[in-house]
Amino acid sequence: MGSLFQDIHYSLRSLARSPGFTAIAVFTLAVGIGANTSIFSVIEAVVLRPLPYRDPGRLVLLADSQDSEDGGFLYKDFDFLKSENRALQDVATYYRDSGFSRVTLASASGPLSVQGAFASANLFPLMGVPPMLGRVFTPEEERRKDRVVVLSHGLWITQFGASADVIGKVLQIDGFGFQVIGVMPPTFQFPARDQQFWVPIATNRYWGDPALTTTDPGNASGFYQRWQAIGRLKQGVKIRQAQVELDTIFARIRQADDDPNRGVGVNLLPLRVTLGGNTRLALIVLFTAVGSVLLIACSNVANLLLARGASREREIAVRAALGANRGRLVRQLFTESVLLASLSGCLGLMLVPLGVRSLVALAPADIPRLQEAGVDGGVLAFTLGISFIAAVLFGLLPAWKISGTIGPLNSFGKGIAASVVLKRTHGFLVVAEFAVATVLLTGAGLLVRSFLAVEAVDPGFQPEQILTMNISVPGATPERTNDVYRTVLEHVRALPGIQAVGAVDSLFDLGKINNLGLRSIERHTPEPKEHWTPLRWAAVRGDYFQAMGVQLLRGRYFTAQDGPNSPLVAIIDQSMARRYWPNEDAIGKRFDTLPVTAEKIKASLT
């Protein structure tokens, strides 16, 4: 132990005598260690850390087998699924859509747009997370359509100042008063990270009774609503067993009630896989890249140590002459490397908060638990481990080579063979560094090329000089909403410099509907439901296409005469025209949609 302290003391003195070398080596390694630790802290929070729910390995999402990304189910199917299955302990429903669950809150600082979720009362017990304050809503409140709300931890802080007496206060959501009954802990972020509140499903102002397959045609959309679901597997039941059972149940549902709005099947997806599933690969790729940067840094420092070792031949020869064997010399030189790595690890750890804040700011908003990334025990252990690995990578080989090239003291200055060995080692490190850098540059070049290719893709509209804004009309009737939009469009159209103005129900996030909503298509034989592919639609008004700079290929734009009392018309895209009328003119063709049952819709082709 005494010799170890002597090695540490001697190493500190040696590094202090070469402040330039020490500073360069520490800073080079600190950048690599800090970058790796920052990425690891995000991976640990998003991927490695257990989900903050009771027994999360048994939680599964139920998704439409035809549309696993956005798919959902008819509300009327859930009772049957819950009662008939023997594999799931419970099934909860919820609805979260940027168009219909993003609402406006009345706050002291003015209207605030937030993201909420409509959920069944059993969602919270199923997830196994109790509220931090108060309680969650009950099945009775759900059936009575009581306006009660459970707040997220973030909304509780921002809107109520983390007040302990928040229970019983009223929150104005889209013009309606909801009584606050509970506050969830900060770790509860289901179904997404930006979740701000949860209310009973029947209080959805757009859809009314969720048990209805379709809505009042005069309501916000006029199309059917599909709900998401999450279930908990019974103890000992494998997901494959549950999948087989649900396939059988869903086939029975379709046989008993062939509702055209229903999907073709159900997929069970583990919750851990679905939450941030697309993020995992990106984080792994990024972690691999910064790991390569650390390898380059270690190679640089190793070369610095070899160059420094050549200048320390006399010192090491003296130690050898005094009786130090090769193992003792290697230990001394490696101790210096460990000290360099330790100093670099401490400096890199100081850079981690800045790196994590940068990653959180640049990352997409839908990555779960990203804001939990930070320095904890696991991150500290990783930093310690990676610092020691770095010391081995950049220190052990130079120490071994340098200690083996020192001859007797009287042969100092004649070590031609020693010089050749050091040069060969230096060349090997340079080649390795060049190889790793080439791989990184190639990957970076491919990413840049892909980015430029994406930038070169024609989006179908002209984004230059287009200004957008979101409009919400809390608590208004459809007639009042139409009046508000009409007034806004008239005022904007009158502004100087405005060429065209229009509106769309959800810009760049068009509501998705499967073509099971198409009842019949003129001159087209209906396809089996298993072959249907998703279709996207949007409701527009005003001069939307002209404002977006969309080129009209055939037909005409919408006009003021295309109102609610005139024959229904539609503008379709080229892909739909080619699919259903490949060798014909689509202008004037007709198709029926659900739930519109009496009107035919004419098509104009863009």
Separation in Å, CA 499 to CA 124, 548, 561: 50, 11, 20
pLDDT tens digits, 161-215: 999 899 999 998 887 889 999 999 998 988 877 889 999 987 765 444 444 433 3
pLDDT tens digits, 530-560: 555 556 677 888 899 999 988 888 899 998 8
Sign of CA dihedral 216, 219, 223, 224: negative
Report the distance separating Cα 215 and Cα 232, nearest Å.
30
Helix/strand/coil for 258: coil
Split at pLDDT 50, 70, 90, the class of 320 is: low
Report the distance separating Cα 26 and Cα 41, nearest Å.
21
Work out the percent of the chain whose per-residue pLDDT is above 70: 72
pLDDT tens digits, 584-601: 888 988 877 654 332 333
Mean pLDDT of 129-146: 93
Report the distance separating Cα 582 and Cα 208, nearest Å.
40
Residue with the larger pLDDT of the pair 58 and 254: 58
Separation in Å, CA 581 to CA 47, 305, 533, 603: 47, 72, 16, 11
Report the distance separating Cα 29 and Cα 429, nearest Å.
16
For the packed helices 326-362 and 397-404, what is the interaxial angle rounded to 10 degrees? 160
Among 403-412, 492-501, 558-567, 571-580, name the one with the lowest average pLDDT. Answer: 403-412
The CB density around residue 79, as the number of other CB atoms within 10 Å, is 11
pLDDT tens digits, 219-257: 333 334 667 889 999 999 999 999 999 888 888 888 887
Residues 72, 74, 77, 78: what is their CA dihedral angle, to the nearest 10 degrees?
60
Report the distance separating Cα 534 and Cα 364, nearest Å.
25
> How does DSSP assign 426-458, residue by residue?
HHHHHHHHHHHHHHHHHHHHHHHHHHHHHHHS-
For the packed helices 377-391 and 326-362, what is the interaxial angle rounded to 10 degrees? 140
Q: What is the pLDDT of residue 151?
A: 96
Split at pLDDT 50, 70, 90, the class of 4 is: low
**Could you tell me which residues are beta bridge partners of residue 270?**
60
Q: Which of 262, 217, 225, 224 is nearest to 599 (CA)?
A: 217
Residue with the larger pLDDT of the pair 535 and 516: 535
Residue with the larger pLDDT of the pair 471 and 381: 381
Q: What angle do CA 387, 388, 394 make, to 5 degrees?
A: 85
Report the distance separating Cα 156 and Cα 198, nearest Å.
12
605 Cβ contact list (under 8 Å, min separation 6): 553, 554, 555, 571, 572, 574, 577, 585, 586, 587
Burial 14-39, CB ≥16 within 10 A → b, else e: bbeeeeebbeebbebbbbbbbbbbbb
Report the distance separating Cα 403 and Cα 422, nearest Å.
11
Mean pLDDT of the chain, nearest integer: 77
Residue with the larger pLDDT of the pair 381 and 13: 381
Q: What is the pLDDT of residue 205?
A: 52
Helix/strand/coil for 598: coil
Helix/strand/coil for 269: strand
State the residue for tokens 């910064």. Answer: 290
Q: Which of 554, 557, 553, 563 is nearest to 544 (CA)?
A: 557
Q: What is the pLDDT of residue 606?
A: 37
Mean pLDDT of 348-369: 81
Report the distance separating Cα 67 and Cα 76, nearest Å.
19
Sign of CA dihedral 49, 54, 58, 64: negative
Helix/strand/coil for 81: helix
The CB density around residue 68, as the number of other CB atoms within 10 Å, is 12
Cβ-count burial of 295 within 10 angstroms (0-12 exposed, 13-18 middle, 19+ buried)?
buried
Among 18-27, 290-299, 316-325, name the one with the lowest average pLDDT. Answer: 316-325
pTM to 2 decimals?
A: 0.69
The CB density around residue 221, as the number of other CB atoms within 10 Å, is 19
Separation in Å, CA 268 to CA 36, 170, 228, 359, 562: 35, 38, 12, 31, 44
Split at pLDDT 50, 70, 90, the class of 459 is: confident
Q: What is the pLDDT of residue 277?
A: 60
Split at pLDDT 50, 70, 90, the class of 71 is: low
Cβ-count burial of 409 within 10 angstroms (0-12 exposed, 13-18 middle, 19+ buried)?
middle
Report the distance separating Cα 259 and Cα 254, nearest Å.
7
Report the distance separating Cα 64 and Cα 458, nearest Å.
31
State the residue for tokens 């049957």. Answer: 80
Instruction: Label each residue of 232-245 as H, E or C.
Output: EECCCCCHHHHHHH
Q: Is the pLDDT of residue 453 over 80?
A: no
Beta carbons of 150 and 181 less than 8 angstroms apart: yes
